[in-house]
Amino acid sequence: MQFFGGSEISPSPPLPTASGNNGHMMYVFNRNGICLLYREWNRPLHTLNAQQDHKLMFGLLFSLKSLTAKMDPTSVDKGNLGVPQLPGQGCSFHSFRTNTYKLSFMESPSGIKIILVTHPRTGDLRESLKYIYNLYVEYVVKNPLYTPGTPIRCELFDSTLDQYFRSHLIHMVELAKLMVAHHPSFPVTILITTATKPDNSTATDNQSRLIHHSCHHLPPPPSPDSTL
Amino acid sequence: MAPVAPRSGDAIFASVERVNSELFTLTYGAIVRQLLTDLEEVDEVNKQLDQMGYNIGVRLVDEFLAKSNVSRCVDFKETTEVIAKVGFKMFLGVTASVTNWDADGTSCSLILEDNPLVDFVELPDTCQGLYYCNIISGVIRGALEMVSMKTEVSWIRDMLRGDDVFELHVKLLKQVPEEYPYKDDE
């Protein structure tokens, strides 16, 4: 029996990548619209100040949620658009995609909203969002000196998130892109094994997982001498 | 599809790290002991324990949600069932049963037959008014408030006072709808 052991977070789900450096921004809100955390990894353009930006993002999610609930063809009991809903009432969305980015969204019943803005070709991020929620529990909620509902200042949480997004995956994909750039006919597949916990509780855990990242479908970059 | 909420906390209980229950029980005892010394009045201690529990509950709910994969409960009945079967198991290692529903489904009793907090405890004559486990009612109140349910939680039966089980009465006062938090003129 172990005393005071921090509970272990299961191995992180790999970020499903389609290409390139994936994470753009991440927001964490609570129910009162307070932005607990904002991180950005790759955001070339800022058009608003930070506070307006956060408010707009929260407003977008809030409105989109009530719209999606209103348009739900499977449920009959819905109020007028804009009428406050009880948490958990109505349906919700988990992502939307534009031609320039993809927004993935998760909301816990306790009102914590986690938003990831990524490359438009990113796959399903729901597992990643759940993993981030777990990180939030371990590094933020369990910190006795953190006051719930205030912006998160926690280096450990930040660095763990950074690590998750910038993990070896990015480098591998960058390398693959480079190889594809020089040899367009040469398909590159990255195989990543994620080691499982040493104390395997079930038999199926014994096998390490294999994730395939195929990069051969990347469009060849424009060659320098091409004329338009 | 939303994941189906687990109907028992056994699997989660088995997977999280635990501490020695005696250490846990005695630590809690030491806290209550210290509160009695500091606050002197038993009523004040009850209040303080409830407040401490509340503070724990508002945090604990996130851990509960993250680990249990419970996404939503359709009604208050399901909520209490999940607390009794999953929540209690996850954090105290015991399960409770839910009974005594009132007609409109807003109040019920959680029955605890086994409570690790009270091992070694006997109430002396000077502390007869003490709700020794008042922290638990605070935790439930705090956790439910975070999922937008205002509740009132109180002890009805207490084994330390000679009853045969612990009985917690949970009453749903109000469900708070989700409102847009910003004012227009901000």
Closest alpha carbon within chain B to A139: B63
Cβ-based neighbours of A20, under 8 Å, separated by 6 or more:
A119, A173, A174, A177
The Cβ of residue A67 has, within 10 Å, a number of other Cβ atoms equal to 13
Rounded to whole angstroms, the Cα distance separating B105 from B100 reads 10
**Residues A94-122 pLDDT 10s:** 999 999 889 999 999 898 999 999 888 88
Q: Residue B19 and residue A130: Cβ atoms within 8 Å?
A: no
Q: DSSP H helical segments within B18-133, as ranges?
A: 21-39, 42-68, 76-82, 88-92
Out of A144-158, B7-21, B73-87, least confident range? B7-21
Contacts of B179 in chain A (CB under 8 A): 84
Q: Residue A86 and residue B72: Cβ atoms within 8 Å?
A: no
Contacts of B71 in chain A (CB under 8 A): 88, 109
State in words which class domain A23-71+83-182 has: alpha beta
DSSP letters of A60-83? HHHHHHHHHHHT-TT-----STT-
Give the up-direction half-sphere exposure of residue A224: CA atoms within 13 A in the CB hemisphere. Answer: 1
The more confidently predicted of residues B142 and A192 is: B142
Q: How many structural domains are present in chain B? A: 1
In a domain, B94, yes or no: yes
Q: Give A 127-186 residues with CB within 8 A of chain B.
A: 130, 133-134, 136-137, 141-142, 148
At residue B136, what is the residue type?
I
Out of A11-15, A94-98, B140-144, B180-184, least confident range? A11-15
Q: Residue A4 and residue B19: Cβ atoms within 8 Å?
A: yes
How many Å separate Cα B20 from the centre of its chain?
20
Q: Quick check: B57 and B143 in contact, CB under 8 A? A: yes
- Which of A55, A84, A141 has the CB atom closest to B178's CB atom? A84
Q: Is B185 exposed, middle or buried (0-12, 13-18, 19+ CB in 10 A)?
A: exposed
Domain ranges, residue B164:
40-175
Residue B34: which pLDDT band, with cuts at 50, 70 and 90?
A: very high
Q: Residue B177 and residue A59: Cβ atoms within 8 Å?
A: no
Closest alpha carbon within chain A to B142: A110
In a domain, B35, yes or no: no
Residue in B10, B13, B79, B178 to test binding to A, most A beta-carbons within 10 Å: B178
CA distance B129 to chain A (A): 30
Dihedral sign computed on CA atoms, order B155, B136, B61, A111: positive
DSSP 8-state code for residue B160:
G
The more confidently predicted of residues A80 and A195 is: A80
In a domain, B186, yes or no: no
Residue A90 pLDDT more than 80? no
Give the up-direction half-sphere exposure of residue A209: CA atoms within 13 A in the CB hemisphere. Answer: 12
Could you give the angle at the alpha carbon of A68 between the alpha carbons of B144 and A98, nearest 5°? 115
CATH number at residue B71: 3.30.1380.20
Q: Quick check: A122 and A22 in contact, CB under 8 A? A: yes
CA distance A53 to chain B (A): 14
Q: Quick check: B136 and B53 in contact, CB under 8 A? A: yes
Residue in A53, A83, A110 to test binding to B, most B beta-carbons within 10 Å: A110
- The reported pTM is 0.76
Q: Is A222 exposed, middle or buried (0-12, 13-18, 19+ CB in 10 A)?
A: exposed
In a domain, B27, yes or no: no
In a domain, B6, yes or no: no
In a domain, B157, yes or no: yes
Contacts of A85 in chain B (CB under 8 A): 177-178
What is the domain partition of chain A in residue ranges?
23-71+83-182
Residue A196 pLDDT more than 80? no
